[in-house]
Amino acid sequence: MNDDRLDKLRLELRRGVLVLAVLASSRTPQYGYSLRKQLNDNGIEIDEGTLYPLVRRLAEQGLLDSQWQMAEGRERRYYQLSAVGAEVLAQLSAEWQQLHGSLATLLEQQ
């Protein structure tokens, strides 16, 4: 399989778990760049063009609360998990654990 196709498959595989990763990383207040850095530091690479619109969409869905704050002489928009977002995160986490277990079994069979 060529690299392009592998990259696309890899992107598809990661896309589904990005929401989970962003919600989990937003338990503490985060602004766009800090969130990206935290994800990268934890091995989840995501480009800005994907992350920033995703964060806004999650905020529009009520899963993240947001507010503008002044920091280091500049304004930044901070995001934090909302009450609804915390519930959704718990449900998605459980779903992920179950999926991970099932997948691990499947992969071990090979």
Partner 1 sequence: MELLERYLAAVAAELPVDQQQDIIRELRANLLDQIDAIQQDGPLSDAQLSQLLLQQGHPVDMAQRFAPSAPLVASEDMPLYKTVLWHGAALLAVIALLKSLGGLILADSINPVRLFLQLGFSFIDSFATLLLIVTAVFYLCGRAGWTKEWRQRQWHPTRLPRYPLARMKLSDSITDLTSTLFLLLLLWTPLWLSVEAQQHLPVRLADGMEHWRYLLTFFAALSTAFALYRLTQLSWQRWSKWCYIADHLVFAAIFAAMALTGGVFTEPQQISDGARFFWTHAAGSISYILLATAAVLVLLAITEYRQLRRL
Q: Which residues bind partner 1 (CB under 8 A)?
A: 31-34, 47-50, 52-53, 56, 74-77
Angle, vertex CA 49, rays to CA 74 and CA 16, nearest 5? 120
Angle, vertex CA 88, rays to CA 35 and CA 91, nearest 5? 115
Strand ranges of the sheet holding 64-71, from the earlier edge strand across to the other edge:
30-31, 74-81, 64-71
Q: Shortest approach of partner 1 to residue 62 CB, angstroms?
A: 17
- Judged by CB, which is closer to partner 1: 1, or 49? 49
- Judged by CB, which is closer to partner 1: 29, or 32? 32
Q: Shortest approach of partner 1 to residue 107 CB, angstroms?
A: 32
Distance of alpha carbon 50 from the chain centroid: 10
Q: Shortest approach of partner 1 to residue 109 CB, angstroms?
A: 33
- Judged by CB, which is closer to partner 1: 40, or 42? 40
